[in-house]
Structures are given as C-alpha cells and as structure tokens.
Structure 1
Amino acid sequence: MRAVIPRALSPRAPWTAELVDGGRRAATFALKDGSGATYRVRIERCVEGRLADSYPAGAHDIELAPEGPVPAEMILVATDALVEADPLCRRVVLALDPEDIAAHETAQRAGYRPGVEVDIREGTLSLLVYEPAWVTQTDMDLDRVPTD
C-alpha cells in the first residue's frame, strides 16, 4: 500500500495551514504567517509525481513545491509540519531551477542541503534535500556492530 499525502498540516504558531486542494497523492496548502501574508505550497509523494524516476525515492519522500518566491521561514515551517504529519518521511525535496541562485540560497537558509541534478521531461532540476535528524544521525564508532 502506498503512503498517502498528509491532508492536514499543523505549523508552529503564529503560522496556520489550510488545505486548498487535495487528493491521495498531492495537495496544495495555503500557509499564513502572523502578519497575514499567505503563501501557497504544493506537496506530492516523490514516487508518484514528476520526480518518480529521477532518483531512488522512498515511499514517504515528499516534494515541497512553493508557488513563487517564498521566505526561508515559510519553507522551514512547512518542512517541520510535513515531517510532523508523516513521521516516516525520510526526505523532503525541493526541486529548483539550477540557475535560480536566490531560491537555492533561501532553501539552504531553511536547512536544505544540495543533493543532485536530475533530468525530467520538463528539463533539468537541482534537488535540495531536508532529512530529519533521525535519518542523519550516525554512530561514529565504526568498529562496533549495532545490537539494536
């Protein structure tokens, strides 16, 4: 059974999220900050969307696609809410135009790291990745075999 997309997000205050359009594999949310500014973001399971064949995506990987320029705080708030909504999410991906330096800088300020460049039907994209701490934690004692 494939993972369904979160139908609700609970961003930290003062942010709010409202489902604008949603289905089983994708949804669009309106995120509002405390000042009333509204940003729209589309989320989609990577294995079922445009990135399906571009990298070895996990069943719970989510593409976060903001509509237009957004502040780093919005990306961070949306990412945190996605990871909270799906505790099995190992990777949130931003697929950006490789030439859009401002978007890359914004994503990196939000905690994303550069991943790979991929080619899809529409062109080349740079994938920037956010992985929760439980994914990136490593035991540096490489001489010990884990027992649990």
Structure 2
Amino acid sequence: MTPTTVGHHPLPVPALPGHVPGWTLRPAGSAPAAGATVPFGAAPAGAVRTCTATSGHDNGPVVRVTIHRVLHHPLRGCYPVGAHDLLLELDITEPRNPVTGDGRDTAGLLRSLVAALFAADPSCRRITAAPPVEDTAARERYAAGGFRPVAEADVREGTVVLMVVEPAQVTTIDTALSAMPH
C-alpha cells in the first residue's frame, strides 16, 4: 500500500461543502454533462468528484465542477505531481448573464473551492487547472480565481496551459541555496 491509495483504491477526492459564499453545490454523477467533452477520459472510482454549482442570483451561470486526483489522471506525466495534488475543472453548462459575464461570479467560486479543498485536505500542496491553450476565456477565469500559469503541456487532445494555486505553507518556503540545511 502506498500513501496515495487506501487499500487498493485511489486516495479519494475530498468532499466539498454544500454551500460556499454565493454558490450552492450539489453532488452530480461522475459522467460528463450532456454535450460536454471529456478531454482526458474517465478517471478511476474515487479519484474524481463532480458537483453542480449554482449562484444565488438570476441569470447566474450554472457550473459543473469536477475535481480529480492528478496522480490518477493523464496530467500526472506533465509535471512532478504530488500524491495529494488536485485538478479542478469548471464547465459552464448554462448561459450566463450577457451583461455581467461570468468572471466575477466564477472567480469567487474558484477562490471558495480552493479554500475548501485546501481545508479538506491539508496535505494538498497544489491545485491545478489545465484549460486548452486557445481558450482565453477559461485562462482568464482561472487567473481571476487565483491560479497562475506555470507551463504548457501537450496531451492527447492538444496543448493545455497548466495553471496552479498553492497554499501559503508551500509558497513561503525559502528555496535559496543559502537556506538549505548543510
């Protein structure tokens, strides 16, 4: 048994609360929404959690949120993955308000989800997003939610931008050579 498995099953994705500020989260099946694409294929049981997020105001977006353990996902070969790293995917499944767009709303959802995921799994050192390189709107959405681009990766479906957000205990580690133990 490795630290990434429980028995013979993958380390489960942490549960999310039913509500984050401004959004209600409802568990959904792990199958993709009608008409949605599954860019990386099916994940093993327990290594993915899907929910539907709805905002509390009229004409707000309806967002399908999928969370994967990166170790059990094809992105695991794209960077030095940690056992508790998560991949967060947002898919807006219903039209959003054409006046306000979705940036403000989904940015708050992303920040709340990131905080909830880091709280639910204190061993998680990185939450990753992988929007297609040509999807400027998705990249802007993740950036507004606190993700920063770190690299591009070629996967079977095309090129994606790896974007990450890390907790303070990771980003504040001094990596200067003079700070390393001798």
Structure-2-length-normalised TM-score: 0.70
Which deviations, in whole Å up to 9, do the C-alpha atoms of 1:4-34 show, x marking residues without a partner? 1113335533433222125411010112323
Shift in Å, 1:73: 1.8
8 Å CA contact 2:13, 2:46 repeated in 1: yes
After superposition, the Cα gap between the structure-2 partners of 1:145 and 1:67, relative to the gap in structure 1 and judged at 3 Å, is: closer
**25-34 or 128-137, which moves further after superposition?**
25-34
Aligned to 1:8: 16
Aligned residue runs from structure 1 range 48-59, under 5 A: 48-59=72-83
Aligned to 2:109: 74
Is 1:21 equivalent to 2:67 in the alignment?
Answer: no
Aligned to 1:83: 118
8 Å CA contact 1:6, 1:85 repeated in 2: yes
**52-61 or 68-77, which moves further after superposition?**
68-77
Shift in Å, 1:136: 0.3
Distance (whole Å) between structure 1 residues aligned to residue 128 and residue 180 of structure 2? 31
| Structure 1: unaligned runs, 5 residues or longer | none
Distance (whole Å) between structure 1 residues aligned to residue 21 and residue 52 of structure 2? 15
Distance (whole Å) between structure 2 residues aligned to residue 10 and residue 88 of structure 1? 22
Q: Highest Rg: 1 or 2? A: 2
**97-106 or 10-19, which moves further after superposition?**
10-19
8 Å CA contact 1:11, 1:81 repeated in 2: no
Shift in Å, 1:75: 1.8
Q: Which amino acid aligns with 2:124?
A: C
Question: Percentage identity across aligned positions?
Answer: 35
After superposition, the Cα gap between the structure-2 partners of 1:140 and 1:13, relative to the gap in structure 1 and judged at 3 Å, is: same
After superposition, the Cα gap between the structure-2 partners of 1:73 and 1:143, relative to the gap in structure 1 and judged at 3 Å, is: same
Aligned residue runs from structure 1 range 28-67, under 5 A: 28-35=50-57, 37=60, 38-67=62-91
Distance (whole Å) between structure 2 residues aligned to residue 118 and residue 138 of structure 1? 26
Task: Report the number of matched residues.
Answer: 146
Aligned-residue Cα RMSD (Å) equals 2.4
**118-127 or 63-72, which moves further after superposition?**
63-72
Aligned to 2:156: 121
Structure-1-length-normalised TM-score: 0.84
Distance (whole Å) between structure 2 residues aligned to residue 143 and residue 60 of structure 1? 29
Shift in Å, 1:66: 0.7
For residue 72 of structure 1, give the secondary structure of its aligned residue in structure 2: helix
